[in-house]
Structure 1
Amino acid sequence: MRKQDNDLHAAGRGGIDHRAASVPTWAYMDQAARTEFWASLALRHCRGLGALSRARLLKTFGSAYNAVQARERWPEAGLTRRQAAEMATGSWRVTAKEEWNRAQTVQAHILLWSDPRYPQRLRELPDAPVLLYCRGDLSLLHSPAFAVVGSRRATSQGRSMASYMARCLSACGIAVISGMALGIDKVAHEAALARVGRSIGVLGTGIDQIYPRSNARLFGEMTEKGLLVTEFAPGALPLAEHFPIRNRIISGLALGVLVVEAASRSGSLITARLALEQNREVYAVPGPALDAHCLGCQQLVRQGARPVFSAEDVLLDLAEQLRPFGISHETLPEEEKRAPFPRPEEEPAAATTRNAAAVPGKNSRSGPAAGPVCPPADALVPEERKERLLACLRAQGAMQADALALALDISVSELNTLLIGLEMLGRIKRLPGARYEALP
């Protein structure tokens, strides 16, 4: 038996705890679950495998363990023999073992792709995460869900709209998803937790990291009354490149995504673009004309996103998808049936003039920045690597992300950082299937 196969079998030793009726923490995993967890880590830490390649392997072979065992057959899943050869070297073991050890130190449910309780909406994604670390009520992963996202530097008007939408949707039994950041995310989580639908927070860090620190109380409330999920390993820090990557989970779990406030180059626009790729509905609050905080939302509306002025707009639009859950616009409490945001024809001219003068960084901000979650795009793109990547795309044409990482001989995580920065700078365009092309 090959050494890494021995590793997989040895990983499962530890016995069964029949008390673990729900998705287990590491301590309560049975032998089969630990074996599958170790195989999942092997895929996650194998150089040259990105989320798309890992998902292909899982869907082709049915589980991480089967995929590792069948590495000679990886071309059947559209992968290369070079990728299979990298798995065979066992170079992934060191970092996989580090995550394995960290997983034993945290109280978190470990939800594997092969587990039938893994959410179906997420499983269907072409780049579905191989596993999720979770804290809180896992039943929320199977509730009808809707994402509310937007600026960390939200205006009071934006926060009011986000709170209203989250409160109304949650009151109808819809779980509200967001990213646990300051601004729009925070108020959406807080409002939704107070109603029956509650809230799901998707982290760009390890499950044991509270970021930003000022959200410590919210993290506690989400663990007690809602749900926190992440694909990142315990101990993972809030690196800038993590946050756009986690956005595919926010949109992937949701029936639709509402962008409340977003500047013209906001990370929320990445979430909206991912939602469109995932065949989710995209909505935007247009906001006052010329308001710098709303330019991204207005751009989305011009590109086909549905403008939203009240919770009823969303409930009516999603009526067919919500009907199996017994949810409709008629389940919205009477006291919430009001439009909190002026429609264009009702908008006072004075308000437009006032907001047109708003300049990000001055009085238009409602509070201090939330920290270096989204640095300037230039900071993500070193000049030398930028030119190598663009030259490769110009020479080869559109390329899938994992193939591009192999061509450039860099890790997939390093490549993701470059791609995010170049997309924000308008130098590349993401195509369906996680393919990228250079723009003129």
Structure 2
Amino acid sequence: MFLEELPYWLALWRIKGIGSSHFRLITERFGSMLTFFSQTPDQLRLMGFKQAQCAQITGFQAGTERRLGAGVSADLDWQDASNQHHILTWASDDYPPLLREIAGAPPVLFVRGDVASLTMPQIAIVGSRHCSRKGRKLAEDFAECFSAHGFITTSGLALGIDAAAHTGALKSGGQTIAVLAHGLDTLYPARNRVLGEGIPAQGALVSEFPIGVQPRPEFFPRRNRIISGLSLGVLVVEAALKSGSLITANEAVDQGREVFAIPGSIHDPLVKGCHALIRNGAKLVETADQIVEELMPLLGYVHQQSLFPLQADEMAHKFDKSSPEGRLLAALQFDAANVDQLVGLTGMSVADVNSTLIMLELEGVVAQEQGGYSRI
């Protein structure tokens, strides 16, 4: 994705009521955000956008939407403030491939820390905020075992089981990823601020929420789909029958991920949710090795997926970025793009795009498929 595209992704993501389905429509129809933002209000209304949304879209393009422009500037300033700060979109090579597969994948991700960790094999650990001492110890021990086998532990930085899982991974020298329900310019809850500040050195903090967005109750269930979407499987350590952890487990089932649960006493209300999951098909586990053995066969798939961006980057470096080949490779993503979309993304003529695609196809860099061309 060209750098001039990013402000438009950020602006659209900040407009109330616009979600991933709108972004999917735009990327499939226009290819380029620059082309989309050049549409007239009447054209936008025909696509189903509301009057207020149309006004913000056209106002941002005209430079008259000051509040929206200030928000985008805050996002870009945050990214520029540190080489640990990253903003990814669907059009970014670094966007995690497993997350890209899920329904409702966030079109924009803010990342603080090691962006490459997002593409590595992960196991999510979730559970009660009001956990027992035994549950906290189990979460730490399981995370340590996962780290020893090369898995990253992913959770939500909440009190209780989440914090224990992150702590276990960090103590063992492994990596951990925390998915947050607010902008990355702050850390919540305050009691986990020190823990959160240590995560970027051994993993990453991740959020779909722009800079300046404060935590709200409705944001926490929403972020759970990202926790499960990044992971090969989800482990529930302790959960009551009415628990946010069960939302994550249900998201995992919908996404085709494995769900594991640790059982406990039938008299313990903290594990009633775990027992309900097991009755509904979650796998009962007693040791971390049981989960590792179950997920190990999937590592080949994850490794293959994570290699694609690396191969693409290596090939992109073969060509000068300003050359026709370099411009096309920068524009082409792993979702197929047709010639018209590539013309819009690169500014090249149809003839130049076609001739360059033929050359890249002979080089074995791109392949033609239904719907256009993609990198290989």
Query: Same fold by TM-score, threshold 0.5 exceeded?
Result: yes
Q: How does 1:93-132 map to 2 (within 5 A)?
A: 93-106=65-78, 107=81, 108-132=85-109
**Consecutive unaligned residues in structure 2, runs of 5 or more:** 304-376
Aligned-partner residue type, residue 51 of structure 1: S
Q: How does 1:162-177 map to 2 (within 5 A)?
A: 162-177=139-154
Contact 1:284–1:308 at 8 Å: present in 2 too?
A: yes
Aligned-partner residue type, residue 151 of structure 2: I
Q: How does 1:58-77 map to 2 (within 5 A)?
A: 58=27, 61-62=30-31, 64-69=33-38
Q: Distance in 2 between matches of 1:183 and 1:69?
A: 48
Q: Distance in 2 between matches of 1:250 and 1:38?
A: 26
> In the alignment, which residue of structure 2 is the partner of 1:160?
137
Tell me whether 1:316 sits opposite 2:282 in the alignment.
Answer: no
TM superposition shift of 1:61: 4.3
> In the alignment, which residue of structure 2 is the partner of 1:145?
122
- For residue 241 of structure 2, the aligned residue among 264, 282, 287 is 264
Aligned-partner residue type, residue 219 of structure 2: H
Alignment partner of 2:123: what SS? strand
Aligned-residue RMSD, C-alpha = 2.6
How many pairs are equivalent? 292
TM superposition shift of 1:153: 0.6
Contact 2:94–2:116 at 8 Å: present in 1 too?
A: no
Tell me whether 1:243 sits opposite 2:201 in the alignment.
Answer: no
Alignment partner of 1:318: what SS? helix
Deviation per residue, 1:129-159 (Å, 9 max, x gap): 1211111111101110110011111101111
TM superposition shift of 1:64: 3.9
254 and 95 in structure 1: CA distance in 2 versus 1, 3 angstrom threshold: farther
Q: Distance in 1 between matches of 2:250 and 2:173?
A: 29
- For residue 220 of structure 1, the aligned residue among 190, 194, 197 is 197
Contact 2:13–2:108 at 8 Å: present in 1 too?
A: no
TM superposition shift of 1:80: 6.6
Q: How does 1:35-434 map to 2 (within 5 A)?
A: 35-58=4-27, 61-62=30-31, 64-69=33-38, 81-83=47-49, 87-90=53-56, 93-106=65-78, 107=81, 108-195=85-172, 197-323=174-300
Contact 1:43–1:64 at 8 Å: present in 2 too?
A: no
TM superposition shift of 1:307: 1.1
Contact 1:53–1:127 at 8 Å: present in 2 too?
A: no
Aligned-partner residue type, residue 176 of structure 2: S
Aligned-partner residue type, residue 83 of structure 1: F
Q: Distance in 1 between matches of 2:236 and 2:42?
A: 42
Q: Distance in 1 between matches of 2:134 and 2:46?
A: 51
Deviation per residue, 1:251-306 (Å, 9 max, x gap): 11000111111111111111111111111111111222131111111111111111
Q: Distance in 2 between matches of 1:304 and 1:257?
A: 13
42 and 191 in structure 1: CA distance in 2 versus 1, 3 angstrom threshold: same
Contact 2:112–2:204 at 8 Å: present in 1 too?
A: yes
Contact 1:72–1:81 at 8 Å: present in 2 too?
A: no
Q: Distance in 2 between matches of 1:275 and 1:155?
A: 24
Contact 1:63–1:113 at 8 Å: present in 2 too?
A: no
Contact 2:11–2:69 at 8 Å: present in 1 too?
A: no
Mean Cα displacement is larger for which, 83-92 or 109-118? Answer: 83-92
Deviation per residue, 1:303-340 (Å, 9 max, x gap): 111111111111121131024679xxxxxxxxxxxxxx
197 and 48 in structure 1: CA distance in 2 versus 1, 3 angstrom threshold: same
Aligned-partner residue type, residue 144 of structure 1: P
Contact 2:7–2:72 at 8 Å: present in 1 too?
A: yes
Alignment partner of 2:259: what SS? strand
Contact 2:41–2:54 at 8 Å: present in 1 too?
A: no
Alignment partner of 1:238: what SS? coil
Q: Distance in 2 between matches of 1:148 and 1:192?
A: 11
TM superposition shift of 1:65: 3.9
Alignment partner of 1:218: what SS? helix
Contact 1:180–1:203 at 8 Å: present in 2 too?
A: yes
66 and 166 in structure 1: CA distance in 2 versus 1, 3 angstrom threshold: farther
**Consecutive unaligned residues in structure 1, runs of 5 or more:** 1-29, 327-440
237 and 72 in structure 1: CA distance in 2 versus 1, 3 angstrom threshold: closer
TM superposition shift of 1:166: 0.7
Q: Distance in 1 between matches of 2:247 and 2:169?
A: 23
Contact 1:134–1:230 at 8 Å: present in 2 too?
A: yes
TM superposition shift of 1:223: 1.9
124 and 56 in structure 1: CA distance in 2 versus 1, 3 angstrom threshold: farther
Q: TM-score, normalised by structure 2?
A: 0.71
Q: Distance in 2 between matches of 1:304 and 1:194?
A: 32
Contact 2:71–2:211 at 8 Å: present in 1 too?
A: yes
